[in-house]
Amino acid sequence: MNTLKKPTRSALAVIAAAALLIGLKPAQAAAECETGQSAQVPAHTRTASGYASVNGLEMYYEIHGAGRPLVLLHGALMTIDTTFGEVLSTFATGRQVIAVEQQGHGRTADIDRPLTYEQMADDTAALLRQLEVEEADVFGYSMGGNIALQLAIRHPDLVRKIVVAGSNYHPDGTYPELLAALNASTPEDFAGSQWHEAYARVAPDPEHWPTLVGKVLELERGFAGWQDEALRSIAAPAQVIIGDADIVRPEHAVQMFRLLGGGVAGDLVGLPHSQLAVLPGTTHETLVDRADWLVSMIEAYLDAPMPDAEQAAR
């Protein structure tokens, strides 16, 4: 794989492959670790921030802007800034953006339980109910996309539309060489990385980093996937986004699109309520940096009228 050539330290080849699978941005790591810089969400868009007590967790959240709620769900080992720094402020110009940090991530301290997509979806739902959000659109990247799927499955009343970017609902949706690299990774491989440094700047206990990495590795290694019927049960319209050189295989993204209501001859039966977008010249690591493409496509999709009941049932 070209992205694994010329490592800057001995373990970078393994780190890069595993990091791709769990939602990180390894190709930028060397340059950003040298400068200590990463995309930051402008503070002037923030209208509120704080912690909510949910399921034994003190969960950090930020609210930016005003309008129809849009929930942002970050990638594994990432923070609000490192995932959505390129797009959040633009979304906040016409929406109420609610960005959260999951268990053990960023400003949310860890607790004594494993990470699961189902639990993180339940935590997010509990937060939204505390904030008195009755219904929201949801945009999840990588790990966050899987949380978005579970949110739509487990708490359908809260979800209006979902956007799932660079995510897989089953392990066979990724390339075997990435799975092999993930199985060879250890928490020590991520020490001193860009994501470690971003975590250390905001975490309540920066020394907890190896435990978080270990839990994320356990989450990914233990992920057996979900049945097709689980995705078919999602009532919310969905937009599936990948890069054409993503870690998610194109065939898998098409299958997700079909299970979520796409894959019909629109000229004959009308447009489906779900959409598929494949960004050209885009890897998993660069996906959330395609701000112009992402914002224009996602906003057009979210602003489109909701399908009526008859169309959604077809």
pLDDT, residue 11, reads 32
pLDDT, residue 38, reads 52
Q: Which two tokens stand for residue 74?
A: 């970050």
pLDDT, residue 40, reads 73
pLDDT, residue 22, reads 46
Dist CA 36 CA 162 (whole Å):
33
pLDDT, residue 179, reads 85
pLDDT, residue 39, reads 65
pLDDT by 10s per residue, the chain, length 314: 333 333 333 233 334 444 434 444 443 443 343 333 456 776 777 889 999 999 999 999 999 999 999 999 999 999 999 999 999 999 999 999 999 999 999 999 999 999 999 999 999 999 999 999 999 999 999 999 999 999 999 999 999 999 999 999 999 999 988 888 888 889 998 898 889 999 999 999 999 999 999 999 999 999 999 999 999 999 999 999 999 999 999 999 999 999 999 999 999 999 999 999 999 999 998 999 999 999 999 999 999 998 775 444 44
pLDDT, residue 194, reads 87
pLDDT, residue 3, reads 37
pLDDT, residue 183, reads 85
Domains in the chain with CATH codes: 45-176+226-313 (3.40.50.1820)
pLDDT, residue 49, reads 94
Long-range contact pairs involving 42-47 (C-beta distance under 8 Å, separation at least 24): 42/89, 45/88, 45/89, 45/92, 45/97
pLDDT, residue 1, reads 37
Beta bridge partners of 72: 99, 139
User: What secondary structure, in 3-state letters, does the chain show?
Assistant: CHHHCCCCCCCHHHHHHHHHHHCCCHHHHHHHHHHCCCCCCCHHHEEEEEEEEECCEEEEEEEECCCEEEEEECCCCCCHHHHHCCCHHHHCCCEEEEEEECCCCCCCCCCCCCCCHHHHHHHHHHHHHHCCCCCEEEEEECHHHHHHHHHHHHCHHHEEEEEEECCCCCHHHECHHHHHHHHHCCHHHHCCCHHHHHHHHHCCCHHHHHHHHHHHHHHHHCCCCCCHHHHHCCCCCEEEEEEEECCECHHHHHHHHHHCCCCCCHHHHCCCCCEEEEEEEEECCCHHHCHHHHHHHHHHHHHCCCCCHHHHHC
- The residue with tokens 């001859």 is 265
